[in-house]
Amino acid sequence: MPSKSIDHAFTASSLTSASTDPTHAGVLSFMRRRFTKHLEGVSTAIWGIPFDAATSNRPGARFGPQAIRRASAIFDNDPQYPFGRDLFETMPTIDYGDCLLDYGNHWLTPQTIEDEASEILSKVDYLLTLGGDHFITWPLLKAHVAKHGPLALVQFDAHQDTWFDDGKRIDHGSFVARAVRDGLIDPDRSIQIGIRTHAPEDCGIRLIYGHEVEDMRANDISSLIVEHTGGLPAYLTFDIDCLDPAFAPGTGTPVAGGPSSAKVLAILRGLGQLDIRGSDVVEVAPAYDHADITAIAGATVAMYMLGLRAERLAKTS
């Protein structure tokens, strides 16, 4: 195989070059993108935040970025379904690696994440983050809003995460309430999909409960999301526990009665009109997974996020 190489994450000839690594071998960056901290010429960066000290139930999401990267090896260098294209051909994309956090000083975590996210966003157009528990979305939102202004939040989740706190807690269940309180997101244009628990407040955010997701068609949900955000730039956050535990057992706070991975992916596929400025996939906890079911679902959601962006860039170029 003289024309092929391995370890594309290090041997790539360009930021848009295709990988020839065998699925079962090679360095496991996300979708074989080049591992680098250099952001010159980069359109999209993928970044891991291995943090789970904010979990209220089962810990382990700190291993989520590793698991998602490993599962992403299944996306060989074929045109990616359902987008029918090489996602990176006109979207220079790198894997920026992980955020370095001090496990003994968790109170430093929010600022550390915000500062590094802001540094990345000062040089790239789009940041896709792999978590980590859902607390990480709070500092990520702060960094994105500093660049783009207030955003609509599109949240796939079993939980509302609208519990109020003192603004200092490290808690994955209150970042939405903080974001509303501090004017980071527009609650009138924000929406949560797949909710299967109750919180004291909805903060004025539109809810699509789990049973409604079950009853509605995927394209109707997609249309509702696009219509509700009203053209406002959006941040897309996907908690893997949005999926039913049958499709995502490897997570910290699983809730029965959720949608299938097929249903959710169909909804995501219909969000091409959404002006997504940043995104994350969180709460993958591989210690509770089976046969990488959850990791594969998380990696596929992340690939769809990249696919939506690649399509949007193609239409505007």
CATH number of the domain enclosing 108: 3.40.800.10
The Cα–Cα gap between 114 and 130 comes to: 15
- pLDDT value, residue 20: 86
As averages over each run of 10 residues, the pLDDT of the chain (317 residues) reads 78 89 91 96 98 92 97 90 94 97 93 98 98 96 97 98 85 91 97 96 96 98 98 98 98 97 98 98 98 98 98 88
Domain count, the chain: 1
Q: What is the pTM of this model?
A: 0.96
Q: For residue 124, is it within any domain?
A: yes
Q: Residue 283's closest CA among 48, 46, 106, 64?
A: 64
Ordered DSSP codes for 104-147: T-GGGHHHHHHHHHHHHHTT-SEEEEEESSGGGHHHHHHHHHHH
The Cα–Cα gap between 192 and 194 comes to: 7
Quick check: 52 and 65 in contact, CB under 8 A? no
- pLDDT value, residue 1: 45
Q: Residue 159's closest CA among 234, 64, 255, 236?
A: 255
Q: For residue 37, is it within any domain?
A: yes
The Cα–Cα gap between 125 and 148 comes to: 10
Quick check: 205 and 192 in contact, CB under 8 A? yes
Q: For residue 229, is it within any domain?
A: yes
Q: For residue 39, is it within any domain?
A: yes
The Cα–Cα gap between 286 and 136 comes to: 18
- pLDDT value, residue 128: 98
Q: For residue 1, is it within any domain?
A: no
Quick check: 300 and 87 in contact, CB under 8 A? no
**Token digits of residue 26:** 């090679």
For 151, phi then psi, to 5°, come to -125, 155
Which residue positions form the known binding site for Mn(2+)?
A: 134, 157, 159, 161, 239, 241
Place of tokens 């379904």: 81
Q: Residue 175's closest CA among 183, 186, 165?
A: 165
Q: Which segments within the chain are labelled E, that is strand?
A: 34-35, 44-49, 93-98, 126-131, 152-156, 191-195, 206-209, 234-239, 276-282
Q: For residue 2, is it within any domain?
A: no
Which ranges of 6-84 would DSSP assign to H, the alpha helix?
8-11, 64-71
Residue 220 neighbours by CB under 8 Å, 6+ apart = none
Which residue positions form the known binding site?
A: 134, 157, 159, 161, 239, 241
CA distances from 143 to 48, 113, 188, 278 (A): 15, 9, 21, 10
Q: For residue 263, is it within any domain?
A: yes
Q: Residue 204's closest CA among 180, 239, 183?
A: 180
Q: For residue 56, is it within any domain?
A: yes
Q: Residue 276's closest CA among 231, 316, 209?
A: 231
CA distances from 285 to 28, 149, 235 (A): 18, 32, 23
- Determine the structural domain holding residue 214 and report its residue range: 8-316
